[in-house]
A and B are shown apart, each in its own frame.
Chain A
Amino acid sequence: DAGVIQSPRHEVTEMGQEVTLRCKPISGHDYLFWYRQTMMRGLELLIYFNNNVPIDDSGMPEDRFSAKMPNASFSTLKIQPSEPRDSAVYFCASSRTSGSVNEQYFGPGTRLTVT
């Protein structure tokens, strides 16, 4: 299996621009998660989906952030307009419903720099 795939791996943009991050979960996984990691705040959950439906978006910082999952194999996280404080590594992770351990598999992340 190819694992969770994220693109782009690095993104540098100017303040005010729209940024779209992409994720392809592992085939057969029914949960998809978006996280943000910074030195100050660590790894924070932004939103997660189950069977393509958003379940909890309480971690989304503000209205500038939006996420979609149009089908089981693709999700996007969009920031519009972007701000310097959005600079972070954004991880996508997926997992599948199982009887006990629901370990999450993380993608390689997108390092976002907003100048």
Chain B
Amino acid sequence: GQNIDQPTEMTATEGAIVQINCTYQTSGFNGLFWYQQHAGEAPTFLSYNVLDGLEEKGRFSSFLSRSKGYSYLLLKELQMKDSASYLCAVHAYSGAGSYQLTFGKGTKLSVIP
């Protein structure tokens, strides 16, 4: 199985930079996703990492270190609309030809003025 850890809550100021960390322990690793989920809404895809390094997409960047079982999501120039939960999800082989996406509990980010 997978064990995924991320902070429960974080608070940051509008215009600032925030880094949300995720550590995982898994076998059959096949990639790591970050999803954003606003309260009462569905998760939406933010980023995907399969190789070590940084993937940049506008104000959001995601980093992966496979050897350390570690990823982070970096949000720059924070806006009030970035207040949401951020879910780290590990894609891994789960046996019998099956790959699964296992989600962490999510980090609730509050952006304050």
Are A103 and B48 CB-contacts (below 8 A) given A55-B97, A56-B98? yes
Chain B interface main SS type? strand
A108 near B50: Cβ-Cβ < 8 Å? no
A43 near B50: Cβ-Cβ < 8 Å? no
A45 near B106: Cβ-Cβ < 8 Å? no
B45 near A56: Cβ-Cβ < 8 Å? no
Are A45 and B102 CB-contacts (below 8 A) given A105-B45, A107-B42? yes
Are A42 and B41 CB-contacts (below 8 A) given A55-B97, A100-B50, A103-B48? no
Q: Spell out A's residues near B (CB within 8 Å).
A: 33, 42-45, 48, 55-56, 58, 91, 100-109
Q: Spell out B's residues near A (CB within 8 Å).
A: 31, 33, 41-45, 48, 50, 87, 91, 94, 96-98, 100-106
